[in-house]
Amino acid sequence: MALSGAGSYIDLAGGPIKGSNTAIAARGDGTIMRPADIGMLPLPINIAQVWNATDSSNGANFAINSIRQITQISLAPQFGGLVIGQVANASGTPLAVGSGVYFGEWAPRAAGTPPSNSTDLNMGSASRTAWYVGDNAVTNTNMPTAINATYGVVGINGVGTAAGGTPDNPNLYKGTLTASYGSGSGSISGTLTRAGSSNVDFAGTTIHNDGRFTRGSDIEGRFYNGAQALAGIHKGGTSVADDVAFGGSKISGTITP
């Protein structure tokens, strides 16, 4: 799946996720990703500092990769930090390409030369962006007839800041959401919480028959993989610093195709 913006594209699974995991497997969490980790010549260039983490809150599983760019490489966008949450299966393995569901945050590169070792992903930037994307979106041609399901969900916000935790141990929003849908309409309810932060409340969120769900201008999202998973954004205030990217998978209930 490609994350796109401003004319640039990132192959999430084949690019930063694969490269990060290769580097971490070889040298440990917080290591420096080098060209050889992404299949390039083994040049002495520090591309990025990388971390990964997992979460199994509320019966659902997630993998989280955090990347802090150090040196911009050819054909890659310039950024300060990228955090990628992935919905995983029951064994904790991220969903495969073709059914992957991703959500997270991005921040532009800060002025000056990035340090060689830091947990600051520049997520305090006024240009920080929360995002979500998936491979197998539910649409109006494959929306299930009925959904009566509960989803384990986590939300990402400000990794590398005091509130968001460190990249190797992110402080996530956590909770469950309940979706009820039938006869062309439905709703989502539930709350995500994080210590020291305002709760993310989904009351009044409407499910549409094209696979989307919305609440005014502050919640947008979509179901994936026959509504077995979901992802979206909660816009929590006047600042982009408040935006929470979230994702989750079904942990109980029924979905009728």
pLDDT single digits (tens) 18-51: 999 999 999 999 999 999 998 888 889 999 999 9
In this structure, the dihedral spanned by the alpha carbons of residues 172, 174, 179 and 185, taken in order and rounded to 10 degrees, is -40
Q: Does 241 score more than 60 pLDDT? A: yes
DSSP conformational letter for 115? P
Query: How much is the pLDDT for 237?
Result: 78
Written as six digits, the tokens of 243 are 């935006």
Portion of the chain with pLDDT greater than 90, in percent = 86
Query: Distance (Å, rounded) from C-alpha 68 to C-alpha 161?
Result: 13
Q: Are 209 and 183 in contact (CB under 8 A)?
A: no
Query: Distance (Å, rounded) from C-alpha 246 to C-alpha 103?
Result: 6
Confidence class for position 10, pLDDT limits 50, 70, 90: confident
Written as six digits, the tokens of 38 are 């992404």
Query: Distance (Å, rounded) from C-alpha 44 to C-alpha 249?
Result: 40
Burial class (CB in 10 A: 0-12, 13-18, 19+), 12: buried
pLDDT single digits (tens) 63-73: 999 999 999 87
Query: How much is the pLDDT for 4?
Result: 53
Written as six digits, the tokens of 50 are 């990388």
Query: Distance (Å, rounded) from C-alpha 133 to C-alpha 1?
Result: 8
Written as six digits, the tokens of 147 are 């959904």
Please state the length of the chain: 257
Confidence class for position 75, pLDDT limits 50, 70, 90: low
Separation in Å, CA 88 to CA 63, 95, 144, 170, 246:
7, 5, 21, 17, 13
Confidence class for position 1, pLDDT limits 50, 70, 90: low
In the chain, alpha helices (H): 18-27
Query: Distance (Å, rounded) from C-alpha 226 to C-alpha 92?
Result: 20
Domains recognised in the chain with CATH numbers: 2-134 (no CATH), 146-256 (2.40.128)
Separation in Å, CA 200 to CA 150, 166, 178, 186:
16, 21, 14, 19
Query: Distance (Å, rounded) from C-alpha 55 to C-alpha 154?
Result: 9
Across 160-185, average pLDDT: 97
